[in-house]
Structure 1
Amino acid sequence: MSAHPRPATDVRATAEDVRPGAAPEEPSGAGRTAAKETLEDYTLRFAPRSYRRWTPMVVATTALGGIAYMADFSIGAGIGLTHGTGNALAAIAVAAAVIFLTGFPLAYYGARYNIDLDLITRGSGFGYYGSVLTSVIFASFTFIFFALEGSIMAQGLSLWPGLPLWLGYLVATLMVIPLVIYGMKALSKLQVWTTPIWLLLMVGPLVYLVSTDPGTVTRFLSYAGSDGGGGGGGGLNTASVLLGAGVCLSLIAQIGEQIDYLRFMPPKTPENRRSWWTAVVMAGPGWVVLGALKQAIGVFLAVYILAEVGPAAATEPIQQFRGAFSAMLPSWLVVPLAVVLVVISQIKINVTNAYSGSLAWTNSVTRLTRHYPGRMAFVLLNLAFALALMETDMFRVLNSLLGFYSNCAIAWVVTVATDIVVNKYLLRLSPQAPEFRRGMLHAVNPVGVVSFVAASGLSIALYFHAFGDALQPYSPVAAALIAFVLTPLMAVVTKGRYYLRRTDDGLAEPLLDPDGNPSAATYACHVCQQPFERPDLAACQAHDAMVCSLCLTTDKTGEHVLPAGASFNGQVMKL
């Protein structure tokens, strides 16, 4: 992709125009390469207005395309078969409510300020290097769920055309590489064109079963589960509900993948206000509504095929849809159509998993090493981790793996959501303006780091029975509550001193325009000689010029980084 063009109305063409006498620095090879490679998907930086040409609904459709994954059916089935339909539905509802409430402020911030979840996390309590912790958590989320979806696809390919599982895992991994190379442009087209087919294949058999055999609904609602605690009329069991909710809450980090798309939302204006908000809510926290429905459908289909295939196979989506299609289609069409559904779903979600995972790894490694290694290296790394999980048959221990992982994911998301809602807007101890640039942030902010480490550490200890069997089901509740309480408490204790290393980036141009959107004013970075929009730039310490956020990130000597200035004192920043 070529450098994004300068707006025709912008007369401030270069840094020299604004800062007379400043000579542009000859771009280094690394800086120039990094700048060019990140201009397609803005791997490490703010997504500029000149690139965000999609309508709100196109962005939303693209973001929701990644919700086509089949893991929800398996997760719901596993919970339902163990704890019964009543407990499973209650667990799904509890998890969905938590995910929606915590996802809303994150989705808003990502769409409003056009930054991904890692950049949000940096300025929401973690600091410039502190958020590396959560980037690794998110990267782990992407390859765990890539492996899960790849396993489901391999199960389908083993039925038709009969590939051995090990080869199916390899096919599921390699087929996404060509698609994920091209970033947002290719992904938007893929998701828009495949979504109608996916919806028809998923919803059609369910409608048919319910309309032609109402008894399936009765059997579904009365199923008690293998532990006998969730039968119809038997009441709910708190421990079963919380254990099930803990598994569902492992999906809370999905909001990071949604934001990877939502950051490309157009500016919010009075003209597009309604469609903008609709898209943000629908594709941001609203993803969990569809996710919860799929989990409930997974319980329904597992109960429907349980007598025929047994409890182990009933959690496999390929078997669930094979059973559903067999009730309405000729036998020769059942397996091929079920495999087509699984393959479409796997492609739709795993291009997103590979894409988002590569962003998270690249972001972390570039900050730590101050060297940009290229995103494709981390696409391959993420896929290698996922393939290793598949080949070791992680599907057998799915619920245990997700139950453990959810504690870390909950602690992270609740910490950031609490910082935005409570610390930024209620206590005013965290600056409302987003900040992610090196030199503007402290290396580590104890507000988020301490809250996250304490919440995840204690909840994991609970999960592994460190405080007794009776408290083990409460580990996800502990993760959420500890993060929610500690985040504002730490902000009060530190008086907000560790949010900003400087309150002034050395540029006179405001970060936001009169409508509150990131400014579209364009200037040149004197290191890589590429034009960037105002939020991506800061003044250079060594030159009378401007430097972009990525060149700051890869500055090994720190010569471009502004010295420490006045720390944030809890007052609202003047923009």
Structure 2
Amino acid sequence: MSQPQPERGHMMPRRTFNRWVQNPVLEDYALRYAPKSFRRWSEWTVMNSALGGIAYMADFAIGGSVALTYGFANAITSILVVAAIIFLTGIPIAYYSAKYNIDMDLLTRGAGFGYYGSTLTSLVYASFTFIYFSLEGSVMAQALQEFFHIPLAIGYLICSLIVIPLVMFGMTALSKLQVITQPVWLVLMLGPFIAIAFKDPSAFSHWVQFGGASASGSHFSSLEFGLAAGVTLSLIAQIGEQVDYLRFMPNLSTQNRSKWWLAVMFAGPGWVILGAIKQLGGSLLASWIAPAMGSKAADEPIKMYTQAFHTVIGSGYAALALATFFVLLSQIKINVTNAYSGSLSWSNFFSRIFHSHPGRIVWLFLNVGIALGLMEAGVFGFLNTVLGFYSNLAVAWIGAVVSDLVINKGLLKISPSYIEFKRGHLYNFNPVGFGSMIIAAGVSIAAFFGAFGAVLQAYSPFLSIALAFVLAPVIALVTRGKYYIARENAFEKSDRHHEIHKHSELPNEIICASCEFEYEKVDMLYCPFHKAPICSLCCSLESQCHDMCKAEQSTH
């Protein structure tokens, strides 16, 4: 039942949205908390949908590329070490996002970055989605060229446009797509490796002895290990795409505790287990086909799987057809996720900058357009360089967020125990996360370009994550946690965000004075400009208030 609406202090026209924004299936709560009424999927469905996006072939390309460049020992150790780092950093992010039903942007706001401070991370995250969309689209276009003889430039366009209709319908369509295709994809991915083990077991001994272009051959080199790890560490931002699904988890309760935790762990940090297996598989296949095809083509997944399926079924044409089908299926499964997550991150970015929200669908087209431009520019040919540079930014962001969640919230208790994401309750910039990321990324990028010598150049991403992780609690202690909460939430003083989630019943709904729709209490705040409750989205889009709510608070 709705609560009575207080008298409004400013009689302004009702805020209206276009049909895309008003349709929850299309909009998918892009800029706000995902309400219980919309989260109708089971733990299993959410987990399977999140893991469906891990079908991407870039893992095979990355594994093949680092093996061809740095040799077996450096490739394998970098893949395993980075997988451990990604798994550990993903645990707190997955937990807080699933518990509070918010995406990566809203989580970042409340984990030390502030309202406008997280615009930088929205750009970093958006960059991740269109960089990997372009890499996955390039792999897909290579398959179209190999089988259908479609020129790459046209293939890039086809691979970009084909995902748009699926992504328009958000979680509703994506969950069905991932559930239906997952069994087929798993069989096609694993089958060739089993066949190689029986029909050509020498491939594994050749893999162990493979040196690629490494100066150390198949032996370990600390410098080349660091360079290889920098490429694979760029995948640390993948947790953001997992969170875009995990925010639809049902509430955690005593009845579903085991299922809930299992789903969160597998769909959150657990993605990297499958990711690391695929990278290892890519390095094996690249070393296997390199003698026949040359190193230039050996990191192309379509070439890897064509040869692998040829081992299984013998026929060259049938093997190419099956490999093409597998690559196309894999790339559609991941690029719908890349495009979807990109539309969310751009929505969050532009809503804060321009106080306008034309709908998630508009930013879907922007994200796909940027990715298409990168594909046409030949981004796949610069795989190691692009990912090595990007990882310096990504790990600084993730390192700062994880440090705040684990140390500042968990150990020091200096950060609020709950996640506050609403503009009216946050400082515009919180130096804890924002400052630590800027410093860590700046120093590590300088190291990446050789400012501090060859060793730190190779280990610049490790320098980035270490600095961010250490600086976040240091800055929090120096500032005494002053910049987390700008003002208390009148609706949540005695009923905190985390306490609301302990109840199985639907929280009370309140009418927003601006758009006049009903929203759950978690998504509402009191606005002194309107002199009434408004929803978090209307608060973000309000351009006339000039943050008077926080200005009033600072005078007390």
Same fold (TM over 0.5): yes
1: CA distance between counterparts of 2:243 and 2:10?
A: 34
Q: What residue number does 1:202 align with?
A: 189
Alpha-carbon distance change, 394 to 559 in structure 1, aligned in 2, over 3 angstroms: closer
Measured against aligned partners, the alpha-carbon deviations of 1:503-550 in whole angstroms (never above 9, x if no partner) come to 233566723446646972222112111111111001121445311000
2: CA distance between counterparts of 1:26 and 1:453?
A: 40
What SS does structure 2 have at the residue aligned with 1:439? Answer: helix
Within the candidate set 191, 206, 210, 2:178 is matched to: 191
Q: What residue number does 1:479 align with?
A: 464
What SS does structure 1 have at the residue aligned with 2:428? Answer: coil
Q: What residue number does 1:393 align with?
A: 378
Contact 2:17 2:358 in 1 (8 A): no
Residue segments in structure 2 that go unaligned for 5+ positions in a row: none
Q: What residue number does 2:134 align with?
A: 147
Which amino acid letter does the alignment assign opposite residue 50 of structure 2? A
Within the candidate set 496, 518, 526, 2:513 is matched to: 526
Contact 2:347 2:360 in 1 (8 A): yes
2: CA distance between counterparts of 1:33 and 1:122?
A: 28
1: CA distance between counterparts of 2:19 and 2:157?
A: 31
- Percent of residue pairs identical: 48
- TM-score, structure 1 as length reference: 0.92
Alpha-carbon distance change, 559 to 521 in structure 1, aligned in 2, over 3 angstroms: farther
Within the candidate set 303, 310, 322, 2:306 is matched to: 322
How is 1:359-438 mapped onto 2 (pairs within 5 angstroms)? Answer: 359-438=344-423
Which amino acid letter does the alignment assign opposite residue 51 of structure 2? L
Q: After TM superposition, give the deviation of residue 384 of structure 1 in Å.
A: 1.1
Q: After TM superposition, give the deviation of residue 228 of structure 1 in Å.
A: 3.9
Q: What residue number does 2:110 align with?
A: 123
Contact 1:503 1:566 in 2 (8 A): no
Alpha-carbon distance change, 467 to 478 in structure 1, aligned in 2, over 3 angstroms: same
Measured against aligned partners, the alpha-carbon deviations of 1:75-125 in whole angstroms (never above 9, x if no partner) come to 001111121112111000111111111111001011000000110100111
Contact 1:538 1:547 in 2 (8 A): yes
Residue segments in structure 1 that go unaligned for 5+ positions in a row: 1-11, 568-575
Which amino acid letter does the alignment assign opposite residue 115 of structure 1? I
1: CA distance between counterparts of 2:481 and 2:424?
A: 17
Higher helix share: 2
Task: Tell me whether 1:61 sits opposite 2:48 in the alignment.
Answer: yes
2: CA distance between counterparts of 1:186 and 1:66?
A: 13
Contact 1:14 1:531 in 2 (8 A): no
Contact 2:351 2:357 in 1 (8 A): yes
1: CA distance between counterparts of 2:379 and 2:153?
A: 13
Within the candidate set 539, 543, 549, 1:562 is matched to: 549
- TM-score, structure 2 as length reference: 0.95
Measured against aligned partners, the alpha-carbon deviations of 1:211-270 in whole angstroms (never above 9, x if no partner) come to 222211111111122124252xx4x21111111111000010000000000000000111
Measured against aligned partners, the alpha-carbon deviations of 1:178-210 in whole angstroms (never above 9, x if no partner) come to 011111100100111111111111100111101
What SS does structure 1 have at the residue aligned with 2:510? Answer: strand
Q: After TM superposition, give the deviation of residue 377 of structure 1 in Å.
A: 1.6
Q: What residue number does 1:237 align with?
A: 221
Alpha-carbon distance change, 508 to 487 in structure 1, aligned in 2, over 3 angstroms: closer
Task: Tell me whether 1:36 sits opposite 2:22 in the alignment.
Answer: yes
With 206-215 and 118-127 compared, the bigger mean Cα shift is at 206-215
Task: Tell me whether 1:336 sits opposite 2:299 in the alignment.
Answer: no
Which amino acid letter does the alignment assign opposite residue 434 of structure 1? I
Contact 2:49 2:175 in 1 (8 A): yes
1: CA distance between counterparts of 2:180 and 2:352?
A: 36
Measured against aligned partners, the alpha-carbon deviations of 1:429-452 in whole angstroms (never above 9, x if no partner) come to 110111010110000011111100
Within the candidate set 240, 243, 248, 1:264 is matched to: 248
Contact 1:32 1:528 in 2 (8 A): no
What SS does structure 2 have at the residue aligned with 1:523? Answer: strand
Q: After TM superposition, give the deviation of residue 25 of structure 1 in Å.
A: 6.5
Measured against aligned partners, the alpha-carbon deviations of 1:324-362 in whole angstroms (never above 9, x if no partner) come to 011121222111111111111111111111111011011
Alpha-carbon distance change, 27 to 344 in structure 1, aligned in 2, over 3 angstroms: farther
Which amino acid letter does the alignment assign opposite residue 293 of structure 1? I
How is 1:501-520 mapped onto 2 (pairs within 5 angstroms)? Answer: 501-506=486-491, 510=495, 511-513=497-499, 516=502, 520=507
Contact 2:2 2:508 in 1 (8 A): no
Which amino acid letter does the alignment assign opposite residue 454 of structure 2? D
Task: Tell me whether 1:448 sits opposite 2:437 in the alignment.
Answer: no
Alpha-carbon distance change, 471 to 368 in structure 1, aligned in 2, over 3 angstroms: same
Which amino acid letter does the alignment assign opposite residue 247 of structure 1? V
Within the candidate set 220, 235, 240, 1:251 is matched to: 235
Q: What residue number does 1:571 align with?
A: none
Within the candidate set 111, 114, 125, 1:138 is matched to: 125
Which amino acid letter does the alignment assign opposite residue 268 of structure 1? L
Q: After TM superposition, give the deviation of residue 558 of structure 1 in Å.
A: 1.4
Q: What residue number does 1:222 align with?
A: 209
With 255-264 and 527-536 compared, the bigger mean Cα shift is at 527-536
Alpha-carbon distance change, 253 to 267 in structure 1, aligned in 2, over 3 angstroms: same
Task: Tell me whether 1:106 sits opposite 2:93 in the alignment.
Answer: yes
Measured against aligned partners, the alpha-carbon deviations of 1:392-441 in whole angstroms (never above 9, x if no partner) come to 11111101100000000000001000000000111111101110101100
Within the candidate set 499, 523, 526, 1:536 is matched to: 523
Q: What residue number does 1:162 align with?
A: 149
Task: Tell me whether 1:14 sits opposite 2:10 in the alignment.
Answer: no
Contact 1:53 1:266 in 2 (8 A): yes
2: CA distance between counterparts of 1:283 and 1:25?
A: 46
Which amino acid letter does the alignment assign opposite residue 301 of structure 2? P
Q: What residue number does 1:570 align with?
A: none
Aligned pair count?
550
What SS does structure 2 have at the residue aligned with 1:562? Answer: helix
What is the aligned-residue RMSD (CA, Å)? Answer: 2.0
